[in-house]
Amino acid sequence: MAHPHPEPQTDPDFSARFQSVRRQTEALAATLSDADATAQSMEDASPAKWHLAHTGWFFEEFILAPVYGDEVRFHDRFSYLFNSYYEAVGERHARPMRGLLTRPSLDEVLAFRAHVDAGMEKLFRDHPDACALLNLGLAHEQQHQELLLTDILHLFAQNPLRPALKPDVNLKTANLEAAPLTWDRFDGGRVEIGHSASDFAFDCETPKHETILRPFELASRAVTNREWLAFVNDGGYSDPRFWLSDGFARAQAEGWQAPLYWHLSDDNWHTMTLSGAQRLCLEAPVTHISFYEADAYATWAGARLPTEQEWEFAARDSDTDGTFAGAGYYQPQIQTDASQRYYFGDVWEWTASPFTPYPGFSVADGAVGEYNGKFMSGQMVLRGGSCATPDNHIRATYRNFFHPDKRWQFSGLRLARDAN
């Protein structure tokens, strides 16, 4: 006996990928209390609860509501509360006030997520054709996974009790040494930059285009805490000759003396991590530095930062098998292997490149067109992902970007210099 009409089917790939990303998000927040998930430690950061809700809102707003209408919505005010910056979608709750939303509670936000999940599963069955923005939604949620971690780290760093999201974690590389820093030469020439393949990429990675690179050299690994300490001890933070003008003004105004979470305790340097305050691991890559600091270090070291084109050209044939969030350390590993180049994972690497549109770039229609284009001013490109980046999220063409004074991401640097 034959079925005259096939059963509606969930696209197994859609559902599996969706469930995987969604569960990862919730796993990151699993040990947070309602209060942990509510607090906002600075305007740049958002509460964990907000990340959890906002990523659900993205699916509700851009995928479910266009198909099912407003009745699909979990709560009539959540669109107002959990829209981030999509001006086209309507008014938003003021960003600096996010930490005052003690209601809805964490449990209610998780219920909202479950409601969205159920809606999405229904959509996969009923309208698999309406899932054009699914990849974007999942990549968006992965980005917020990393922000959730860096924002919680910033919050816990403000607490004199130095709480840990994940206590008692030791680096697998603890007690090892960083590989010697060597230089790789690249001839450059006329090269292709950007993304064109059929798999997903953000709009800002396109279009693929040609550019010309002069011969250059890149360091074989990221700068370590030990190397950075030499800069600190040499008076690097107080000598304007090493600094960009805007950078020195900011460093002075905010009293920077070392990377963001470094602090002296009993004459030893410590740093705040997602496993609490720890003795600084000198062999590990330096992190939580701004672009301004990275640039000043490079000048002090007689080198410079790579451009994003140089970085991409060098990294394009490298494996992306560094240390990411999936490893569960949430701290950069020591880069011990002289045969590896560690372009991916551990720390985002600041580049010398402002975040600007590639030649021929254009934004998508509608609210999702606000995704990247409107941020192409005043921010600097970082490349390669970090120890807080979800596995499988990164690629050689991936462009992350932050304002040059931001320090709370897992941001580090790799040196470059002109070649003859």
Closer of 116 and 303 to its own copies (Cβ): 303
Q: Is 209 in the site for its own copies (CB under 8 A)?
A: yes
How many other CB atoms are found less than 10 A from the CB of residue 257?
13
How far is Cα 28 from Cα 53, in angstroms, rounded to an integer? 14
Q: Is 90 in the site for its own copies (CB under 8 A)?
A: no
CA distances from 101 to 59, 81, 93, 311, 419 (A): 21, 9, 10, 41, 54
How far is Cα 145 from Cα 136, in angstroms, rounded to an integer? 14
How far is Cα 373 from Cα 77, in angstroms, rounded to an integer? 27
CA dihedral 188, 356, 293, 166 (to 10 degrees): -100
Encoded amino acid at 407, one letter: R
Q: Is 352 in the site for its own copies (CB under 8 A)?
A: yes
Q: Is 247 in the site for its own copies (CB under 8 A)?
A: yes
Give SS3 for 265. strand
Closer of 23 and 374 to its own copies (Cβ): 374
Q: Is 238 in the site for its own copies (CB under 8 A)?
A: no
Q: Is 243 in the site for its own copies (CB under 8 A)?
A: yes
Please state the closest distance from residue 2 (CB atom) to its own copies, in A. Answer: 52
How many other CB atoms are found less than 10 A from the CB of residue 317?
9
How many other CB atoms are found less than 10 A from the CB of residue 101?
18
Q: Is 252 in the site for its own copies (CB under 8 A)?
A: no
Please state the closest distance from residue 342 (CB atom) to its own copies, in A. Answer: 25
Take residue 153 and report the two structure tokens written for it: 């780290």
Q: Which of residues 145-174 bind its own copies (CB under 8 A)?
A: 155, 158-161, 163
Stretch that binds its own copies, among 98-106, 118-126, 280-288, 327-335 (CB under 8 A): 98-106
Closer of 26 and 418 to its own copies (Cβ): 418
Q: Is 245 in the site for its own copies (CB under 8 A)?
A: yes
Binding site for its own copies (CB under 8 A): 33-39, 41, 77, 80-81, 85, 87-88, 93, 97, 99-106, 155, 158-161, 163, 190, 209-214, 240-241, 243-248, 291-292, 295, 352-354, 356-357, 359-360, 374-378, 404, 418
